[in-house]
Amino acid sequence: MRRVNTTRWALVVSVVLVLGAVTGCSQKYYDERGKADGPVLGGRGEDSPAEVFNFPDGFGNLATKCVGPGKRAYATTKGSVSIGEDEVIIPANAVIVDDPSCARR
């Protein structure tokens, strides 16, 4: 009898953990302001590859691509720098600049 109760308990705990994991990754979480990408016009974004420049460890990498008529975007990944015993996290950044070499669409 004791073995059956242990097995049931393990099953109940497993189900609760799985449900917790699934609901923690729900779309609602990502739909909250600031936790997901913005909506894309027409449901499909411009997904051409970006040119990526890799920097040494501790520095954010850089990606760039044309993002519209006459516009280029530069984006970095987050990086970190060690200052003494402390590690300082440098946040990701993005900037859009005028670039005549980006073709008009």
Please enumerate, as own/partner, the contacts of 16-23 that have beta carbons within 8 Å and a separation of 24 or more: none
Q: What percentage of residues in the chain have a pLDDT greater than 70? A: 58
What are the extents of the domains in the chain?
1-38, 45-105
pLDDT tens sequence across 57-68 = 767 789 999 988
Over residues 2-26, the pLDDT tens digits come to: 555 677 776 776 766 666 555 555 6
**Encoded amino acid at 57, one letter:** D
pLDDT in the model for residue 28: 67
The residue ranking higher by pLDDT, 45 or 99, is: 99
Q: Output the pLDDT for position 30.
A: 62
- Give the pLDDT confidence score for residue 75 in this predicted structure: 92
C-beta atoms surrounding 1 within 10 Å = 5
- Distance (Å) of CA 82 to CA 22, 41, 45, 53: 36, 41, 37, 22
C-alpha span between 48 and 6 (Å, rounded)? 54
Enter the pTM of the model: 0.53
Residue 97: predicted pLDDT: 95
What is the reported pLDDT for 5? 65
d(CA 51, CA 74): 10
